[in-house]
Amino acid sequence: MHYLTPKLWFPDVNQATDEGLLAIGGDLSVERLLLAYRSGIFPWFDAQSPILWWSPNPRFVLFPQKLKVSKSMKQVLRNKAFKVTENKAFGQVILECSKIKRKGQDDTWITNEMVAAYQKLHEMGYAKSVEVWQNETLVGGLYGVDLQNGVFCGESMFSKVSNASKVGFITFVQNSHYKLIDCQVYTKHLASLGAEDIPRKQFIEFLKTD
């Protein structure tokens, strides 16, 4: 296992464990976060842990052209019960995502340190949010990192009413210019929308292209 120092560096992703854990420590500076994402690495840890850096194999991704929208979701979209925006309430979205209770977790992995770090990325144009509104109330959304090379790295989403996060995600993907949406690791929810596993090596190749 690699322990990071203040030096801006990551080990080769092929040195990750079978679970995908690559390194421990370092910081959440804008420079390190961008280097991580551009190298196929992301941070994921809780408040009681040091910073943990991951690069799983396989990688769970969505090719926008393979997006699956069910008949029922098409009807929801046609009804226009929700309004979808981008970058109108980044701070609210990431805070709502941090409140979500997830199975097997005692507390959030979106710590105050993470919130501050991604807020800086947002201010620099690298992190973006998608908001879903119902009657002017924020009821769903998602955020992630835009690498500005055709790859969007999704981080988290939340939903306060049925279908809100799905509407946000589907609308975002349909209106996007991305060649690839990084979903990191398998979830049944995103698999139902067309996400799939690809080899980490293939994912890294996508990161290298403009």
Measuring CA to CA, which residue among 209, 134, 155 is closest to residue 179? 209
pLDDT tens per residue, range 96-155? 999 886 544 444 578 899 999 999 999 999 999 999 999 999 999 999 999 999 999 999
Distance CA 171, CA 177 (A): 12
Asked whether the CA dihedral 193, 199, 200, 205 is positive or negative, the reply is negative
**Domain architecture of the chain: domains with CATH:** 2-57 (3.30.70.3550), 60-208 (3.40.630.70)
Q: Can you give the pLDDT at residue 101?
A: 64
pLDDT tens per residue, range 41-90? 999 998 888 999 999 999 999 999 999 999 999 999 999 999 999 999 99
pLDDT tens per residue, range 156-200? 999 999 999 999 999 999 999 999 999 999 999 999 999 999 999
